[in-house]
Amino acid sequence: MNTTVTLELKFGTADGKTRSLSVKNPKSGLTAAELQPAMASIIGLNVFEVKGVNPYAAVNSARYVERTITDVITDAK
């Protein structure tokens, strides 16, 4: 069994949609008080643009996503 953890940061785009930024193997236990300023810093950089739209214009949400893979059959021949 293999489990991976990803931190998913969700932003509102300049055109009213939602865009995600995923971070693999994040520090565990991050709080909203720690993540909101970090996400605001990403927004403040204003270095991203997709088809003329800023994909990271507003803080939306953040969450940890755990994915567990359990092999049932391996190396079947």
**What pLDDT, on the 0 to 100 scale, is given for residue 49?**
84
pLDDT in tens, 46-74: 888 888 888 999 999 999 999 999 999 98
Give the CA distances from residue 2 to residues 42, 66, 68, 75, in Å, rounded to whole numbers and listed in that order: 31, 10, 6, 16
What's the order of all strands across the beta sheet hosting 2-12?
A: 18-24, 2-12, 58-69
- How much is the pTM? 0.83
**What pLDDT, on the 0 to 100 scale, is given for residue 75?**
86
